[in-house]
Structure formats: C-alpha cells, structure tokens
Structure 1
Amino acid sequence: MAYAQAPHGGPMTPPPGRPARPAWHWLVLGGIALAGLLLVAVFAAFIGWKILDRGDPERTVDDFYTSLQDADCELFMESTTDEFQEATGLTSCSIFDDHIEGISGVDYEVTDRVNRQGYAIFEVTESYSSGGQSESADLRFSVRRLDGQWDLDLMELVEPGSEPIA
C-alpha cells in the first residue's frame, strides 16, 4: 500500500514555465514578417506606377501633329484609332505618304481642353501651308483611352460662333 507523503512545511512553488524560444525561431519569424512587408511595398509601388503611367492625352495631339510635320506614318498610325484612319482615308503608309506630300509648315495651338472619363476633348487652331497657300482652321479633337494608351479618335471642324466645349 502506498501512503501519501506529508506536505512540506514551506510555500508551494509554481510549476516550471515554458522554456524560452531559441533565437533562430525569432529570426525565422522576423524574416517572414520582413518578406511580407517587402511584398506589400512592391505591390504598392506597382499600383502607384500604374496610376502615374496613364499617359497624357495632349501628348497624343502633339504626336499627331509631329507625324504630319515629319511625314512620319508610324507615329500617325500609333497615335490614331482605326476608326480615325478610316474616316480620314489614311489607312496605310502609302496612302499617308501620298496625301501628306504637299502639306508643310503645320503649326497648331491648343486653345481649350476638357477631360472626361476615358477621353479628352481639345480645341485646336491649326495653321499650315498647302500648295503655296496659307490656311487656318479651328478643329475639335476627341482623344480616347484605349488599351492603356491615348489615341486620337475624332476630328471635327469647329464653325465660327459654335458652342464651346463644356
């Protein structure tokens, strides 16, 4: 038969605590946390870059006029939509080169701009010489955002006394 031992006369001691975690454990946890913070920082930088890299629709108007001044068909095709190319009849580089041949000294000034969701409207006064004659016209351009870039989509002649863009 077993007999219980008599309690000691002193205070009872608490059971021993959990052993301290080794240093490598804290290093692993710190490395995982640091990798998570780095991943969040890279994601935030990517989102910020995408927001800031939306382009400038006025640059598209500049590219359009540069393509006319320099007879640069590639730049013309890059800065305009297929619909614009079809509406103007400039659907290939050979046609573009034939039509742009007599135009020189194209100059323009953006007189008004309105930004909308997904597109921008510009009013432009352009001056050029064609066949030795100096010409001037007020035009309205619609620049549309397609597939991450701005493209010239519509050009219309602004009649004198017409309503301004709003």
Structure 2
Amino acid sequence: HDVLDFDGMKSILREAEMLYIKNIRDENQDQYLDLFSFKKIISAQNCLLFDSSMLLFEIGKKFSFYLFPFGKKFEEIIHEINSTIITDWKVEIIEKNEDLITISVQKCIFCSEIGVPCEMFKGFLVHSLEKALPSDFNVIHYGDRENVDHPDHNTFVLKLKIEKKY
C-alpha cells in the first residue's frame, strides 16, 4: 500500500503554497526545482507530518525508489545525492566493511528545522542500501538518539547493519 498517495502529495504542495507544480513531471521530465522551493516542500511535509517519525521513514524509502528506481551501487547514490542537492550539506561513507556501513551526515537538508527528526533521510539511506543488496539481505539502522531540540541535530552519524534474512 502507498504511504503517500496523490492526495497526500497535494496536501503537502498546498501547505507549501506550490500546488501549481503537482503535474510538473508530466509536463517536463528535465525540469528541476530550485533549492528554495525544495525546502518549502520539505518544511510543509515536516509541518503536516509532525511527530510522525515512522511515516517520514517510509516516505524516505519511497523517495529513494523514485529518485533512483534502478539498481545502483550505494556509493554512487551517496555521490549523486551530494551532487544533485547542492547546498552546504555533506553525506559521506566514513567506514565500510561487509556487514556495516557508517554514514556521516552534516547539515541534513531534510531535517534542518529544530524539532524535526531526520527519519525521512534515514529511510532514504536504508532503502537505497537495501536496493543495492541481494534480495535475501536487509538493513537495520542505528546511531545515537538525536535531540531534535538542539540546533545541530541535523548533523549525525548513522550505522547501517547488513543482515541476511532467514
């Protein structure tokens, strides 16, 4: 089932006062959003889904699918997300072995407002890695619990543990 249907998307765009872009992909596949518009949409989503961490995580997984629908190496996805969303943020793999990848996220654009958890981007990272693995593996994420009231909560380390399904 779909965690964010067309009506949900329209609600977010309406909250961002950007309902006029709801069919942008149908009109021009190559058109891009400017950073200000992108941040307005993320802010509207965070406002409407305040305190809905699990739903934000699932939306992040869906975002991963739509942004990178075909198989890509996880390292390529990290590189592309840094080069696609151009701002002062940085996402990097700081440690990697066969069953654990440690990611450093600095100034995450998806949770830059105080009080907003970074669950959407965590969902994006988890699902991006899962898509790059064989189907009999899944990813468990963990890290220090973020204090969403701290101004720097959008800078964090996330550990992605790769486990074989049984």
TM-score w.r.t. the length of structure 1 is 0.25
Structure label with greater radius of gyration:
1
TM-score w.r.t. the length of structure 2 is 0.25
Larger helix share, 1 or 2: 2
Larger strand share, 1 or 2: 1
